[in-house]
Amino acid sequence: MRVLFVVPYVPNLVRVRPYHLVRQLSARGHQVTVLTVCTSAEEEKEADALRQLCYKVETVSVSRWRSLWNCLLALPGVTPLQAVYSWQPELLTQIRVSDFDVIHVEHLRGSTYGLKLKSQFNGHCPPIVWDSVDCISLLFQQASAQSKRQVSRWLTRFELDRTERYESWLLSQFDRVLVTSPADREAMLALQPGNDARANICVTPNGVDLNYFAPNETLQREPATLVISGKMSYHANVTMTLNLVSDIMPHVWARRPDTKLWIVGKNPTQDILALAENPAITVTGTVNDIRPYLQKATVAVAPIAYGVGIQNKVLEAMACATPVVCTPKAVSALSAVADRDLLVAQEAQTFAEKVLTLIEDPHKQKEVGQAGRGYVERHHQWDAITAQLEETYNEVIGAAR
d(CA 182, CA 180): 7
d(CA 82, CA 87): 10
**Residues 214, 247: contact at Cβ < 8 Å?**
no
pLDDT for 400 equals: 83
pLDDT for 197 equals: 60
Whose CA is closest to 397, among 88, 220, 176? 176
pLDDT for 262 equals: 98
Q: Which residues pair with 59 in a beta bridge?
A: 36
pLDDT for 98 equals: 82
Measure the CA dihedral 92/95/100/104, to 10°.
-30
Domains of the chain with bracketed CATH: 2-207+382-400 (3.40.50.2000), 225-379 (3.40.50.2000)
pLDDT for 194 equals: 66
pLDDT for 260 equals: 98
pLDDT for 196 equals: 63
Give the H or E element holding residue 178. Answer: strand 176-179
- Output Rg (C-alpha) for the chain, integer angstroms: 21
pLDDT along the chain (401 residues), means of 10: 96 92 96 95 94 95 94 94 94 87 96 92 86 92 84 89 94 94 91 71 94 93 96 93 97 97 95 97 94 97 89 95 95 91 96 97 96 96 96 93 78
